[in-house]
Amino acid sequence: KPGAPVSAPCTWEELESGKVGPRTFTLRNMATRIKDIGDLWSGMRRQRRSLQRSLLKLRALS
C-alpha cells in the first residue's frame, strides 16, 4: 500500500522533539534516512538485554 508506515528505530532526541511519529517512516524514505543518520539497528546485538526480569515482574502482578 503506498505510504504505508514501516518500523524504524528512533533516537531519544527525535522522539522528544516530536520530529517523528507513527507514520513518519515508509519504504520510500528509509534508504534516505539510513544514508543521512546511519543504521540505528547496527548496534542492536551488542545492546541486547534479557527479558527474564521483566517477565518475572509481570507474572508477579497477576
Whether the full predicted model's pTM is greater than 0.85, yes or no, is no
Q: Which residues pair with 5 in a beta bridge?
A: 26
The answer to whether position 4 is within a domain reads no
pLDDT of residue 31: 92
**22 part of a folded domain:** yes
Count of domains for the chain: 1
Sequence letter at residue 15: L
Contact between 8 and 30 (Cβ < 8 Å)? yes
Read off φ and ψ for residue 32, nearest 5 degrees. -65, -40
The 10s digit of each residue's pLDDT in 2-61 is 889 999 989 899 999 998 999 999 999 999 999 999 888 887 777 777 889 999 999 999
Q: For position 59, what pLDDT does the model report?
A: 94
Determine how many CB atoms are found less than 10 A away from the CB of residue 26: 15
Q: Does residue 39 belong to any structural domain of this protein?
A: yes
**38 domain-assigned:** yes
Give the pLDDT of residue 60: 94
